Amino acid sequence: MSMTLEILQSSLVIPSDDTPRERLSLSNLDRVAVRKHNCTIYLFKNKEGGKEDFFSVEVLKSALAKALVMFYPLAGRHIIGHEGRDQIDCNAEGVLFVVARLECTADSIQFEPMSPENRELFFPKEPQSSSLLEMLQVTFLKCGSVVLGTSTNHILVDGRGAAHFFQTWSRIARGDLTSIVPPSFDRTPLGARCPPQINFDFPAYMTDLTEKEDKPKPCGLNLFKLSKEQIRHLKIRCNKESNTTNVSTFVAVSALVWKCYCKAQGLASSTMSRLYFTADIRNRIHPPIPTYFGNGVIRLSATSEVSKITSSQIGQVAGTVKAVIDGLTDEFIRSFIDYMEVMGEKKISVISDISESDLRIRTILGMPIYDLDFGWGAPQLVSWERCTENRVVYLMNEPGEDAGIKVVVSLDSSTMKQFQKVFYDELKLFADE
């Protein structure tokens, strides 16, 4: 379906009060972040039908200006400092705020999964300069519903930090100021040691950034849903088979997806498969930094032979993933920070051009993505996956206390067909636990 977007307003929203004018030096975890904007779509349905002040632009912009006082680096610009290191110039120049209109209803748009063409409609077009740190677009639909598109520069902050900002913005808008938690921009806890001490290897990162000439296969998205009951059964089985009592939802679902992928690919049994994922360090570093606003994640990888993954019980696969996460200790985190310091200005990146035996998992499980009530109710739907990379799986919670999990898979068509069959066959195996 062809849709034409009408831009009604485009402006910069600046902090409503004076903010510190300073240069914020980025940490080694910021330096290794992917240099692009993280984009998320929130759908808010106008349940009262035609309510005139639904998603008042004035209310949103006023609350945004106040939130930017607390989260002032977002209103700054990304620059390269004198020593060649990334910095944020906290100059209060503001965030881009776009208001648009689309002559179609929410029910006529396929949000799950969303095509790349439709997805692009709901985000501001990035200006030639990529120094903007936050871009927002509020799109009014014909039915009265609203789509909020957020685009946050990953160089400054990860998903958890961004969620903290959006949560604060919405609370200010609805007048709930008592539960607001101020962020911390202090990068000191993530500084390198002197002298550096590197006691681990980091196979999920690379220094050779030369691109391969092989063109990736075209891929598509498919949505799989796990109910709360299915997840409960899966975790019971994982705990039983791995001899533990604390297999997390992420570990259990990741193990399921990894096993299904290896089966679907039909890889040689001796092939090594690697599962890449990120883990939050905020509560794993000592002392913890729970309110840290920045990049607080490290990429990890679990490795095993394909034959072991496909023939093992799901709990044993979960145990392989869990062992890697359990290894994310304070010493591991500090060793990685020191490793980045020793590498200096060498370009370090997460491995992106993975082989067909490998899989990446991106997760926002447990993040307060639905705690975004600007005064007109929480979003009915959140979409953040993008169909641009093959062999990537996105995990996120569904809304509601009794809701399950959405598993959005990006694969080439032949692998997807087989993955779907294997996935549902696996679910049947533990349905009676």
- Could you give the residue numbers annotated as active site? 154, 373
Question: Is the sign of the CA dihedral 209, 215, 221, 227 positive or negative?
Answer: negative
Measure the CA–CA gap between 369 and 379, rounded to whole angstroms.
9
Can you say whether residue 228 is alpha, beta or left, with left for phi > 0 and alpha for psi between -120 and 50 degrees? alpha
Task: Fill in the amino acid letter for 235.
Answer: K
- CA 281 from chain centre, in angstroms, equals 15
How far is it, in rounded angstroms, from Cα 291 to Cα 182? 7
First to last CA, the chain: 44
List the Cα angle 171/172/178 in 5-degree steps.
Answer: 70
Query: Which 8-state DSSP code applies to residue 247?
Result: -
Q: How far apart are CA 399 and CA 426, in angstroms?
A: 25
Residue bearing tokens 């409960």: 232
Strand order in the sheet with 77-80: 22-25, 86-90, 77-80
Q: Distance (Å, rounded) from C-alpha 202 to C-alpha 421?
A: 34
Pairing of strands 272-280, 77-80: unpaired
Asked if residues 133 and 74 have their Cβ atoms less than 8 Å apart, the reply is yes
Q: Return the structure tokens found at 415.
A: 């692998």
Judged on CB neighbours under 10 Å (0-12, 13-18, 19+), 128 is: exposed
Residue identified by tokens 């993954």 is: 309
What does the alpha-carbon distance between residue 433 and residue 102 come to, in Å, rounded to a whole number? 47
